[in-house]
Amino acid sequence: MNLTAKRITSYVLAAFVLVVTTTAILAIWDVISLEQVIKKVITSLIVIFAASVVTLFIFNVLIKDTK
């Protein structure tokens, strides 16, 4: 893995930690309802997973590299 990919991955993970931390703090202080957030997060992850499966299928089955 090259340096640029590592740097981008590090920034993405840091942003993810920041979002999760902010959400947790807001839930602790009862600013937001955590049940609604968890439901939306799980639903979003399912949609992203389904889209990833379709994309993987397209790249592996329909678009084959001929070497």
By the 10 Å C-beta count (0-12 exposed, 13-18 middle, 19+ buried), 5 is classed as exposed
Instruction: Quick: pLDDT tens for 11-24.
Output: 988 888 888 888 88
pLDDT band at 63 (very low <50, low <70, confident <90, very high): confident
pTM: 0.55
H or E element that contains 50: helix 34-57
Contact assessment for residue 35 and residue 45, using Cβ atoms and an 8 Å cutoff = no
Residue 3 pLDDT > 70, yes or no? yes
